[in-house]
Chains A and B, each alone.
Chain A
């Protein structure tokens, strides 16, 4: 018998009689849907993200130009930002050729107030490695896309056909040396969140 067959028959011989799968729906009843935006801002700030409340994409341009020096490589998946960022050329690069990216400005359609996360799929990343390899990450998300908990988040996501997706929560960090929290481990050294609330 193959390994696979041996392993599966050992498992079947030893697994106990079928236990019921519990329902996760009752957990949703606890979702606090009050003040989602305020709660999201508090949690995201606590985990080290920089939050900007904006009314238009144009504000992103100003903030980026004021905070990131000229001459640095900026990439974005958002067509409206083509005058401040490369929105096309980088798609032809090998992943390793993105090693010099200073800032990536990406779009997310889902944020979670209980933990400050944003959900981002590979088409919103441009290239999979981009949100990890960039020195600084910025994400735009509309305020009406904030949900309360991870249960609500998975209800929204459903089962996508995307090959890759991630919850990202703040800048990369480590506390492996004597539990001192250091921002900027292997991924971005900062994360800016642009919370867009259009009038």
Chain B
């Protein structure tokens, strides 16, 4: 499950684009989900007020995060939950490992948690002889394929059912050639039920953590988080520091926003509120920073911490839909991943803020009104100043700056561009121009606006 690829977004997108039919299918599937989202949210006259309220609640939380984390911890402790703090991914993984070791077991069942993907928990535990089975169907599929999820809500959206059928044939013993989703899902149900019934330890993610009550809420459609947690003797919940909300009543806002934005459903099948361990059960919460407190200090980028992980920005993004989640080489892909990742490693993820057309569709669908496309634009400037862009991009940008800073040069360059496109299109339509890949160059206009203006209005 390597995500430490050295290839950049454009190269990885190039691989995804090799199969044009698959790109079309991927594009259309995600757009269909975006349309379901539209249909769901357009029923509510108060939708914009909901988004605004959600955004403002998160803004307030970020401005008072220290106090809210402390009151969350105090209430969780009073509820009988054991609370741990992890400064980074390594500490998170070590804490989880210690809990598992203490109970003398070597296997665990896990429901969806993008934080554990971010921390590479499964790999760490595997190195230490602990087997982890992911129980969300999509996550189980990519786990069998030895791939990371390609989407935060739809982990195997890039996979065709025939490929899933092959994986199930190899690992779960279904007959060769079976690809009916009903049969495959039933097979996974039987396989994972056995896992749920035999694992002593279950790990879940956290969607929302309520400071007022010390409880955390986990949302699933499959029921896998609840099956794992309620059958376990030890429940570990991993959460980023930004999952806090002040009061229980604020769940009303976020649960209304989350699933409508994600898939167009009115709410997930299960929104489970975990407040106290079951009698006899042990419950742990691991609160993880891993770079979030640094992002909190970046004025231009702190709003990215408002994210509730619905995936709407991915479903709507013209670049994500046509390049696939794996091209972002980060646990969280798409527009939101591209503004979160450079905070963790600016050099490694220097390409991601450029993997966008800056069309703004992501910001328009975001349920908590994160200014995603503005942040992508701002990251570009930070990254260029820090010297993390490729040489060709820096050279091109210098040339552009020189051209745009001089009206005379701009005029000459514009005329030259139109002449080249008209008489020598091969000079730009070639393999040396990465922009030309998978694109046709547009027809150049007959004249520039400046030329047109002089001819038509200049005389007056």
A contact residues vs B (CB 8 Å cutoff): 2-4, 6-8, 10-22, 24, 26-27, 30, 43, 47, 95-96, 99, 114-117, 127-129, 132-133, 149-151, 153-155, 157-159, 162-180, 182, 184-188
Describe A's contact surface by its main secondary structure. Answer: loop
Within the assembled complex, what's the spacing in Å between the Cα atoms of A180 and B265? 14
Q: Which A residues lie within 8 Å of B49 (CB)? A: 26-27, 30
CB–CB A19/B59 < 8 A:
yes
Q: Which A residues lie within 8 Å of B212 (CB)? A: 159
CB–CB A19/B293 < 8 A:
no
| B35 touches A (CB below 8 Å) | no
Of the listed stretches B269-277, B355-363, B371-379, B430-438, chain A binds B269-277
Interface string of B44-55 (1 = CB under 8 A from A): 111001101100
| B425 touches A (CB below 8 Å) | no
Of chain B, the residue at the smallest CB distance from A171 is: B269
Q: Which A residues lie within 8 Å of B138 (CB)? A: 174, 176
| B115 touches A (CB below 8 Å) | no
Interface string of B107-139 (1 = CB under 8 A from A): 000000000000000000000000000011110
From the candidates A133, A176, A178, name the one contacting B155 in the complex (CB within 8 A).
Answer: A176
| B79 touches A (CB below 8 Å) | yes
| B181 touches A (CB below 8 Å) | yes
Interface string of B80-96 (1 = CB under 8 A from A): 00000111000100000
CB–CB B266/A114 < 8 A:
yes
CB–CB B57/A22 < 8 A:
yes
CB–CB B289/A7 < 8 A:
yes
Within the assembled complex, what's the spacing in Å between the Cα atoms of A17 and B66? 12
Interface string of B8-22 (1 = CB under 8 A from A): 000000000000000
A14 with B296: in contact, given A117-B267, A186-B227 (CB under 8 Å)?
A: yes
A166 with B271: in contact, given A24-B253, A186-B223, A187-B223 (CB under 8 Å)?
A: yes
* Most-contacted residue by chain B among A27, A129, A174, A176 (CB, 10 A): A176
Q: Which B residues lie within 8 Å of A14 (CB)? A: 293-294, 296-297
| B268 touches A (CB below 8 Å) | yes
Of chain B, the residue at the smallest CB distance from A4 is: B85
CB–CB A19/B248 < 8 A:
no
| B255 touches A (CB below 8 Å) | yes
Q: In the complex, which residues 26-59 of chain B have their Cβ closer than 8 Å to any Cβ of chain A?
A: 29, 32-33, 44-46, 49-50, 52-53, 56-57, 59
Within the assembled complex, what's the spacing in Å between the Cα atoms of A166 and B299? 37
CB–CB B213/A129 < 8 A:
no
CB–CB A27/B63 < 8 A:
no
Distance of B280 from chain A, by nearest CB (Å): 10
15 sample A-B contacts, Cβ–Cβ < 8 Å, listed by A number: A10-B294, A11-B69, A15-B62, A21-B246, A154-B249, A164-B275, A164-B276, A167-B255, A167-B270, A168-B270, A171-B269, A172-B222, A174-B222, A179-B157, A188-B223
From the candidates A166, A169, A182, name the one contacting B185 in the complex (CB within 8 A).
Answer: A182
B contact residues vs A (CB 8 Å cutoff): 29, 32-33, 44-46, 49-50, 52-53, 56-57, 59-60, 62-66, 69-70, 79, 85-87, 91, 135-138, 141, 154-157, 159-161, 164, 181-182, 184-186, 189, 192-193, 196-197, 212-213, 221-224, 226-227, 230-231, 241, 246, 248-253, 255-256, 263, 265-278, 287, 289, 293-294, 296-297, 299, 302
From the candidates B135, B137, B250, B277, name the one contacting A163 in the complex (CB within 8 A).
Answer: B277
Describe B's contact surface by its main secondary structure. Answer: helix
CB–CB B278/A18 < 8 A:
no
CB–CB A95/B223 < 8 A:
no
CB–CB B185/A174 < 8 A:
yes
CB–CB B57/A179 < 8 A:
no
* Most-contacted residue by chain A among B156, B189, B269 (CB, 10 A): B269
CB–CB B267/A3 < 8 A:
no
* Most-contacted residue by chain A among B29, B46, B155, B164 (CB, 10 A): B46
Q: Which A residues lie within 8 Å of B302 (CB)? A: 16
A172 with B221: in contact, given A3-B91, A11-B293, A117-B267 (CB under 8 Å)?
A: yes
CB–CB B227/A129 < 8 A:
yes
Within the assembled complex, what's the spacing in Å between the Cα atoms of A170 and B86? 37
From the candidates A11, A177, A186, name the one contacting B181 in the complex (CB within 8 A).
Answer: A177
Distance of B44 from chain A, by nearest CB (Å): 7
CB–CB A128/B278 < 8 A:
yes
Within the assembled complex, what's the spacing in Å between the Cα atoms of A167 and B270? 6
From the candidates B63, B164, B266, name the one contacting A177 in the complex (CB within 8 A).
Answer: B164
* Most-contacted residue by chain A among B66, B164, B268 (CB, 10 A): B66
In the complex, the 10 A-B pairs of residues with the closest C-beta atoms, listed nearest first: A187-B223, A14-B297, A163-B276, A115-B266, A185-B222, A176-B138, A129-B230, A10-B293, A177-B181, A180-B181
Q: Which A residues lie within 8 Å of B159 (CB)? A: 178
A164 with B223: in contact, given A96-B231, A132-B230, A176-B154 (CB under 8 Å)?
A: no
Within the assembled complex, what's the spacing in Å between the Cα atoms of A73 and B60? 50
Q: A11-B69, A170-B269 are in contact. List 13 more A-B contacts (CB 8 A).
A: A2-B85, A10-B293, A11-B66, A22-B60, A43-B266, A115-B267, A132-B227, A164-B273, A168-B270, A173-B221, A175-B154, A185-B189, A186-B192
CB–CB B272/A27 < 8 A:
no
Of chain A, the residue at the smallest CB distance from B157 is: A179
Distance of A160 from chain B, by nearest CB (Å): 8
Within the assembled complex, what's the spacing in Å between the Cα atoms of A164 and B237? 15
Distance of B411 from chain A, by nearest CB (Å): 45
Of chain A, the residue at the smallest CB distance from B161 is: A178
From the candidates A11, A168, A177, A179, name the one contacting B32 in the complex (CB within 8 A).
Answer: A179
Within the assembled complex, what's the spacing in Å between the Cα atoms of A176 and B438? 29
Of chain A, the residue at the smallest CB distance from B260 is: A115
Within the assembled complex, what's the spacing in Å between the Cα atoms of A171 and B269? 7
